[in-house]
Amino acid sequence: MPGGHATRPEADRPRLVVATRSEHKLRELGELLHLERGVLLSLDDLGVPGESVEDGPTFEANARIKARFAVEATGLPSLADDSGIEVDALGGGPGVRTRRYAGPSATDASNNAKLLAALDGLPPDRRGARYVCVLALALPEPWGPSEPWGPARSSRTRGPIGRPRLILRRGTCRGRIASSPRGDGGFGYDPIFEPASEPPGGRTLGLYSREEKHAISHRARAARRMAPVLRDLGF
C-alpha cells in the first residue's frame, strides 16, 4: 500500500483516505507525498458507495466537494485532487471541463484532437497553457492526532460530523500546447503538452520519464506543498 514505512504494521499506521477509485492516482500520490507514517486508502478500499457531484466552478471548489464527500462517508481524514489544463487562447479553458472537453464520453485522444483543432494555425507564442492541480485535505471535526483511526463507518453507525476543516494547496506547470501529439507516456493531455523548459517543438510530457515528470508536474508541486502539512499532522 502506498505511503509509510514497510516495516511498520499497516494496522498501526494512521489512515488517510484519497477521494478516488483510481489505483493509478493512489499510487502516484503515494510516490509524491512520501508519507512517514500514514497509509493511503482509496474509496474502494473502504467500500464507500456513490460519487461526489463535481459541479464547482473552480478546481478549488471541486477539490473541496470531493474531500468533503470522502470525510463524511468515512469519518477519516481525506485528501482530494482536482486538476486540469488551462489554455491562454481559450480564456483559461477547458479548465474544470478538462476531462469532458470533447463531451460526456470523451477520451484522452478525443480531448487532445479537439484542443489541437481549436488552436490550429496559432504560433507557439499563442499556445501558452498550464496544468493545474489543487489538493484539498479535509479533517473531520472534532479531530486530532490522538483520535482513533477506526474503520469506515457503516450506514448504521454513520452520524453527522462537524463541518470539516479544509486545507488547500495548489501546484501549476507552465508550458504550451504542441502542434501535434508526441509520446505515449502519461495520460490526459501529456502527449500535446510541452513544459516551459522545452523549446517549441521540444519534448512533450508524453516523452518524459516518470522521474522527470514527478520533478515538475502540477500534481508533484501541489504534493510537495501538502506533504509538510501531513507530516505535521502525524502522517
Query: Where residue 162 sits, what CATH number does that domain have?
Result: 3.90.950.10
- The answer, yes or no, to whether residue 157 has pLDDT greater than 60, is no
Interhelix angle 218-232/23-33, rounded to 10 degrees, is 60
Count: domains in the chain: 1
Listing DSSP states for 150-215 in one string gives PPPPPTTT----EEEEEEEEEEEEEEEE-SS-----SSTTGGGEEETTSPTT---GGGS-HHHHHH
Catalytic residues: 82
In a domain, residue 19? The reply is yes
In a domain, residue 1? The reply is no
User: Contact at 8 Å (CB) between 173 and 195?
Assistant: yes
- For position 142, what pLDDT does the model report? 65
- The rounded distance, in Å, linking the Cα atoms of 207 and 218 is 16
In a domain, residue 3? The reply is no
- The answer, yes or no, to whether residue 154 has pLDDT greater than 80, is no
In a domain, residue 4? The reply is no
- The answer, yes or no, to whether residue 151 has pLDDT greater than 60, is no
Domain of residue 115, residue span: 10-232
In a domain, residue 2? The reply is no
- The answer, yes or no, to whether residue 166 has pLDDT greater than 50, is yes
Section 131-147 average pLDDT: 81
In a domain, residue 97? The reply is yes
In a domain, residue 49? The reply is yes
In a domain, residue 5? The reply is no
Angle (CA) 89-187-134 rounded to 5° is 65
Q: State pTM to two decimals.
A: 0.87
